[in-house]
Amino acid sequence: MTPSAPVPFPYAIIGAHTELGPVITMDEWAKRARVPHRHDPDGHLDGPEITRLLGVEGKSWGPERFASLDAVAGAARTALAGSGIRSGEVDAVIVVTCTPYQILMDQDAFALMRSLGIPDHVLPLQLGAGCGGLARAAALVARLRAERALVISYNIASRIVGFDEDGALPKAYRDNSVHPYGKGVWASPALFSDAAAAVVLERDEDAAGVLLYSRDSQSFDDGPGITDPLIHILGGGNDRAVGLPGSAELACFGMNAPEITRYYSRGMTLNHRDLNEARPGYLDEVARFYTHQANPTLVDAFIEEMGLSRQTAPSNVRQLGNTVSPSTLALLHADHTAGNLAHGDRVCFSVVGAGPERGTFIAPVRIPSLTRRAEPRRQGDGG
């Protein structure tokens, strides 16, 4: 099989915004979740133990804030307002989520576009994507040759795997003998967090961006393709319809941790290798390198392998948890609000996720509120 190759990405980022839930400590979350301790039948995992196992110290967790699509629409509305374009000028809208509010007929996309006032001739495009969804959305924008595209991404773990009426995790996440990864399904709500993000992309042939996207299903790293979806959600569809015995247990998010670790570690390296072959020395031209925030151990290992500084490659997973597709956009938003970016700075996004899929792209940031640098940026400069 011919491996995926980078292609031009003639787009600039002209608007971006991220909404998070309240950030709580892992200890606070653990006290509410009451995850059974495998080696103590009468005990529960506490915050320090979960942090030791997953590396996450805090979580963005806002079931009330994200009780409806309103907060998601608010993030998109703010991104549009910051871009200086009106909703009627958008010709492509791509919605990226693996935790939709309504699971059938792309109703999240329809509702969001109606709320935002997107013209009816614009197609609703909803991607049931996880951590690699931003790369798939960017690749789709490029294939569509959209002039002005709005990408909306959100992962609301607190609503779909949140606490039950007793205030603890649902029974299927605490005691699950049906799901093939049942013993570890508690780690999904512990690791995954809440966020809604939006980015506005404007076509510009002079942007000189570049993009790589790959499913890795036919081949991976000169070997056979990956057939494992990495995240297993086996219930709720035709295979095990809602209401059938075991459907609730199989509908849990179960992680194939060994395969996720292998795919993240090698996939991120391949993203860099392939992009560097297409754009030699690209790291010298980017102000920030935003990596998918899978978990602290994997992120730290990759950043160390790349020899990047924490300033050039910031991280938020330890503080916020894995916010899935919004994770890199949250890093961009934080840099924007902190004044760490200037108008025209180039940034690189590199993500991998369930599917499996991975991708990376470079684009200049031209959000109108950003100031312009008086002097050329030197590599490693922060502000």
Q: What is the CATH number of the domain that holds 161?
A: 3.40.47.10
Residue-level pLDDT at 2: 62
pLDDT at 326: 97
Q: Is the pLDDT of residue 383 over 80?
A: no
Summarize pLDDT for 148-184 with one digit per residue, the tens.
999 999 999 999 887 766 678 888 998 899 999 999 9
Q: Is residue 161 situated within a structural domain? A: yes
On whether residue 378 sits in a domain, the answer given is no
pLDDT at residue 37, as a whole number: 87
* 242-254 mean pLDDT: 89
CA distance 255 to 179: 11
Mean pLDDT of 306-322: 94
Between 168 and 204, name the one with better pLDDT.
204
- The answer to whether residues 240 and 250 touch, using CB atoms and an 8 Å cutoff, is yes
Nearest to 266 by CA among 227, 228, 226: 226
Question: What is the residue whose two structure tokens read 């690791």?
Answer: 191
Quote the mean pLDDT of the chain. Answer: 92
Domain assignment present for residue 307? The answer is: yes
The region of weakest confidence among 133-142, 233-242, 316-325 is: 233-242
How many structural domains does the chain have?
1
pLDDT tens by residue, 32-46: 999 888 877 778 999
| Residue 311 lies inside a defined structural domain of this protein | yes
pLDDT score, position 380: 45
- What is the average pLDDT across 13-33? 95
Residue 105 maps to a domain: yes
Domain membership of residue 207 (yes or no) is yes
Chain segment 343-362, per-residue pLDDT in tens: 999 999 999 999 999 999 99
Q: What is the mean pLDDT of residues 177-199?
A: 95
**Confidence at 375, pLDDT banded by 50, 70, 90:** low
Share of the chain above pLDDT 90, in %: 82
pTM recorded for the entire structure: 0.93
Q: Which domain covers residue 346, as residue numbers?
A: 7-364
Closest alpha carbon to 235 in 255, 212, 252 = 252
Three-class SS of 166-221: CCCCCHHHHCCCCCCCHHHCCHHHHHECCEEEEEEEEECHHHCEEEEEECCCCEEC
User: For residues 234 and 253, what is the distance between their CA atoms, to the nearest angstrom?
Assistant: 9
